Amino acid sequence: MSWGGWSEFWAMGGYGFYVWGSYAVTLACLAIEILLLRRRTREAKA
Amino acid sequence: MSTAIKWFWFASPQTFFPLAGTIARACWIGAALLAAAGLYVGFFAAPTDAQQGEAYRIIFIHVPAAWMSMFLYVVMAFWAAIGLAFNTRLSSMMASAVAPTGALFTFIALWTGALWGRPTWGAYWVWDARLTSELILLFLYLGFMALQAAIDDPRRADRAGAVLAIVGVVNVPIIYYSVQWWNTLHQGASVSLTRAPSMASTMLTGMLLMALAFWLYGIAASLARVRCIILERE
C-alpha cells in the first residue's frame, strides 16, 4: 500500500473532492438503478 | 434439437425469460467481484501519477464508463435494427432495455470527466469536440427513451425508436475519433490495439478490471430490465 494512513487515503493528495465526488456519484447512480430495477420487477410480477 | 432451432426458441420472450434471469444473476456476481478487484488494484496497487498526482484515479471509472456509453449505444442500435428489419419482438425489447443503462453510463462519463477536467484543465466543462459529442450521445439516449414513452402502442414505439437509434449511431465514431479529427483539449486514446499502452501496467490492469465489471453490470441490468418489459408487455 502506498498510503501513509487512512487520512492520507481520503485526502487523495488534495484531490479528494474530485476523486470521491466521482466515485460517490457513480456508486449512487448504480445503486439507484438497481433499486429501481428491483421495484419494477416486483411491480411487474405482482 | 439442433443448435439453429434452439436459437429461434430463445427468440421467444417467454422462453428467454428464465434464461435472462440466470445470466443476469451470474453477471451481477461477476460484476461485484471484478469491481472489488479493480478498485483494490486502482487504489492500492497502482502508483501515483507523475503528472496528475492522485487526481488520475478517476480514470478507473471514467474510461470504462465512456467505453460502455458508446458500446451500449451500438448494442441498442443493433437490436433496434434487427427488430425493425425482422419484426422480432424480443429484439426491440432488448433495445428498450439497454437504453437507460447506456444513458446512465453516459452521464457517469460526463460527470467524472467534469470532476477530472477541473483539476487538470482548470474547467469543469469546455465546448470541445469530445465532450460535446458525448453530450449529444446522452441526448440521443434520452430522446430514444422519451420517444418510446410518448407512443402508446409498443410496436409503433419500437419502430419510431429504432429509426432514431439507427440514425444516431453515426455519432459513435464521431465521439471515438473526435480527439484525432479536431484539435481538442481531451487527451487521445489511453489504450490502443496497435501500440503499447501509455500507462503503468498496474493502472491498465485496474482500468481493464473496472471495464469488465461495468460490462457485466451492463449485461445484468439490461437483462433484468428486459425481464420487466417482457412481464409488462406479454
Identify the weakest region by mean pLDDT among B61-70, B96-105, B177-186, B205-214.
B177-186
Domain ranges of chain B: 15-233
Q: What is the ipTM of this complex?
A: 0.94
Chain A residues touching B47 at Cβ < 8 A: 2
Chain B residues touching A22 at Cβ < 8 A: 58, 61-62, 111-112, 115-116
Mean pLDDT, residues B76-101 = 95
**Which string of b and e fits B87-118 if b means at least 16 CB within 10 Å?**
ebbbbbbbbbbbbbbbbbbbbbbbbbbbbbbb
Q: For residues B52 and B49, what is the distance between their CA atoms, to the nearest angstrom?
A: 5
Contact residues, chain A to chain B, C-beta under 8 Å: 1-3, 9, 12-15, 17-19, 21-23, 25-26, 29-30, 33-34, 37, 40-41, 44-45
Pick among B52, B115, B226 to test the A interface (most A CBs inside 10 A): B115
First to last CA, chain B: 26
Question: Model-level pTM?
Answer: 0.93
B36-53 pLDDT per residue, tens: 999 999 999 998 888 888
Contact B111 A33 (CB under 8 A): no
CB A9 within 8 A of CB A3: yes
B137-149 pLDDT per residue, tens: 999 999 999 999 9
Note the residue count of chain B.
234
Cβ within 8 Å of A, B 13-52: 43-44, 47-48
Count of C-beta atoms within a 10 Å radius of residue B227: 24
Domain ranges of chain A: 6-45
Contact A25 B61 (CB under 8 A): no
Percent of chain A's residues with pLDDT above 70: 96
Chain A residues touching B112 at Cβ < 8 A: 22, 25-26
Q: Which residue has the higher pLDDT, A1 or B132?
A: B132
Q: For residues B126 and B186, what is the distance between their CA atoms, to the nearest angstrom?
A: 10
Contact B119 A18 (CB under 8 A): yes
Q: Which residue has the higher pLDDT, B6 or B168?
A: B168
